[in-house]
Amino acid sequence: MIVYLFNIVIAFAVISISANENLNPLSEGACRLKVQEAIALYKNQDHDNAFKVFLAALDSIQNRTPAVSLEDARLYQEALATYLNTSSQLSKEQTAVKILQAYIKILTEHPDYYQLGFITAAAYANINKYEEFFSRFFESYMQDPTHYMAYKGKAALSIKLLERARNVEAREEQRKKVIENVYAAAELQSSDISLYRVLIAYSSPEDKRRYVLHSLNKIIDNNMMTSRTDIGFFVEQAVDLHEWDLAQSFIDKARLWYQYSRVVDTAQQYLLDSRNSKQLLNEEKGKKPG
């Protein structure tokens, strides 16, 4: 009963805010009410509207110059290394638990460590604790809406909405937001391999070649070690475009990362088979009269 009444109060407050949304930018207090509404919606299993309301709250935050403490910067780099570690044998969920166990107490004592807050927010999302994600991500976003993790977080929520969209227009709207935010995140944190995978996976057919070439050349040129599970994905993208040399360059680089790997061997065989099949097909076409 208490939760029900609380939800009514939140909903009433948000209705009042929404009536004036188009007239004035939302205040910080109004944004915080929207975050509480998002949490209430998520608790009530209305995940779509929870994500939409939360993103609306983020859209109202104005850019500002953040003040970063030296200790926050140090802890952030430490936690980021764990978050981005592609050579780890831990799953995404296990890595999230590891991060939360290491840093959540520190963040409780120092809520102003907003960069560390972004990493813990991502960890909460990776174990599907979105109520905690909403609270933590919002506090960090308030301090720096142009942080790499700010863009990545918004892209992740747009992917959630894209997956639930019921029509082509809604899916295309969210797809464009995914690309826009992921590209911005990659410009700020080029070592996050997951961004390139998302950039390729959600690119339009017209942009696919450009993003595949951009991503693979970036990874190869900067010797950015990918996880074993991503090797096949990137090779397949190059092969689909008949970028044989690029695929081979990527595999050669992967052999330096993983000298004895069945995944790399499988990728190499896939490239050879695909290239040979294409060559045979071309030869058959050349034999046809006319």
Write out 182-219 in H/E/C secondary structure: HHHHHHHCCCCHHHHHHHHHCCCCCCHHHHHHHHHHHH
pLDDT digits (tens, 9 = 90+) for 223-254: 999 999 999 999 999 999 999 999 999 999 99
| Residue 31 structural domain | 2-59
Is there a domain that residue 66 lies in?
Answer: no
For residue 280, the model assigns a pLDDT of: 81
Instruction: Output the six-digit token pair for 42.
Output: 């998520």
| Whole-prediction pTM | 0.86
Last residue of a domain, one of 59, 77, 106: 59
Residue 277 lies in a domain: yes
**245 domain residue, yes or no:** yes
> Looking at the 3D structure of the chain, how many domains does it have?
2
What pLDDT score does 13 carry?
44
Residue 213: inside a domain, yes or no?
A: no
Indicate if the pLDDT at residue 288 is higher than 70: no
Instruction: Report d(CA 225, CA 215) in Å as an integer.
Output: 13
Phi, psi of 172 (to 5 degrees): -65, -40
> Do the Cβ atoms of 37 and 53 come closer than 8 Å?
yes
Please indicate, yes or no, if residue 28 is contained in any of the structural domains.
Answer: yes
Where is the domain boundary, 35, 59, 83? 59
> Average pLDDT for residues 114-142, to the nearest whole number?
97
* CA atoms 262, 267, 270, 276: torsion sign: negative
- Inside any domain, residue 167: no
**What's the confidence (pLDDT) of residue 262?**
95
Domain assignment present for residue 45? The answer is yes
